[in-house]
Structure 1
């Protein structure tokens, strides 16, 4: 039986990570959230550029779906700002998004344009074409159903074009967790609403979310309690850090 020293194992893991993060995603690095508590748990110190990332609501509740949408909008805004006011394409199949809401999460109207698509197939085609074009900071798509081959095509298109692919997975009408099936995405996220902090005066506190990193390539799952993004696409930790290691496989239980 072969044995390896700790240093050899570390070098081997680094080599495997390099192979997994092939294409332009490896060369262009990652875009951080700007929170050490989050970036420190991500394998690349942030969200890999030129890669596919998925997010879904924790439930079919409208509040959770809105939270997941704003989470993706904030990520897209961060990619846009990283590229120096880079443009974002958002492909959608349902009713139009609420532009002031997106702007409140940092994705202002001058940074994004929309592609109204008839169905998931057309939205996926628009995403792939936009990703391979290579002139966008990020490409967002709202998708209900997608197969493994299409997921892999999006990942390859992101690597080829150098743009981030952000897939917002919608719940099926007949139910079923959008993140239940395997995926080639580099990260997968589940977002749900949490109670806001009680204020010492009348009013509503900053929205809070349960943010679950269900899966990431090269690292473990994790869970945070975070405050919703502001107009600069910055999420925040509540007063008194509440982030913690994935409690007894919380992300795995949610995925199941």
Structure 2
């Protein structure tokens, strides 16, 4: 067999595999991605956004409650945008501290939310896997303290099979939760950042430091954004070196 014929055969085989994955995912495109709508983020993420049929992880930048809350709302915004107007999000909790009104302010309203309680990490992972394989959910979110390569690989395969986005909130326990190896496509660290000063007296919009600690197919990066709005959207602060109208970053440096 010539080299050209061999290449054509390999390309055809990969095409057939993609078609099989799409059929298994209920006709959903396994290569589809959910963009943030911010070039400062999407332009630096491989694929231009978060893979729809993939596992993505987030953890607080530290073990503090404010960092954990920021990571929770970050995932809520992603899940809310993934659900849109008709989808349902399954959120598997490990403890009863999920605040529904806060999730709604980040773009995930109660009518789009289904909560399941599972005490142990093993139970959370099992429920997540079942939800992902079902294929009818917009996204599945799970809160865990420990999940190794085997567990995350199972979730990734389940996400691909069901064409459903898997979002894992990594809880702090004794050490950095993102230090544990994982097969997740993206891994994020989220923490609060100082609000941009307003021209008048008052408190500016809440801001986050968003760090893409690891991604498949690209380097990591870090930037500051405003927190999710009620539609789950992120925005760049008014004084930001990443905004086209603030390219020199001078005002941002003076405000920092």
TM-score, normalising length: structure 2 = 0.82
The one-character-per-residue Cα deviations of 1:201-222 (angstroms, maximum 9, x if unpaired) are 3332111111000111111111
Give matches, 1:124-203, under 5 Å: 124-172=125-173, 175-203=174-202
- Structure 2 CA distance for aligned equivalents of residues 227 and 155 of structure 1: 29
- Mapped to 2, the partners of 1:241 and 1:199 lie a distance apart of 14
Give CA deviations for 1:16-63 in whole Å, capped at 9, x if unaligned: xx89x9745863410100111111111111100110000000001111
Contact kept in structure 1, 2:148 and 2:180, CA below 8 Å = no
2:106 equivalent in structure 1:
105
2:48 to 45, 64, 74: 45
Q: 1:74 aligns with which of 53, 72, 77?
A: 77
Instruction: Quote the offset at 1:85 in angstroms.
Output: 2.0
Q: CA–CA distance in 2 between the matches of 1:33 and 1:222?
A: 15
For the pair shown, which has the larger CA radius of gyration, 1 or 2?
2
- Report the Cα distance in structure 2 between the residues aligned to 1:179 and 1:126, rounded to whole angstroms: 22
Alpha-carbon distance in 2 for matches of 1:143, 1:221: 23
> Is residue 224–residue 242 contact of structure 1 (8 Å, CA) maintained in 2?
no
- Provide structure 2 residue ranges, at least 5 long, that are not aligned to the other structure: 1-10, 23-27, 244-256
Deviation digits for residues 154-185 of structure 1 (CA, Å, limit 9, x no counterpart):
0000000110000000001xx20000122100
Q: 1:68-126 CA distances to partner (integer Å, 9 max, x unpaired)?
A: 00001001111111xx4210000001123111110000000111110011211111111
Q: Is the 8 A contact 1:57 1:190 kept in 2?
A: yes
Separation in structure 1 between the aligned mates of residue 77 and residue 231 of structure 2, nearest angstrom: 8
TM-score, normalising length: structure 1: 0.82
Whether the 8 Å CA contact 1:225–1:242 is kept in 2: the answer is no
1:55 to 58, 63, 67: 58
- The aligned residue for residue 118 of structure 1 is 119
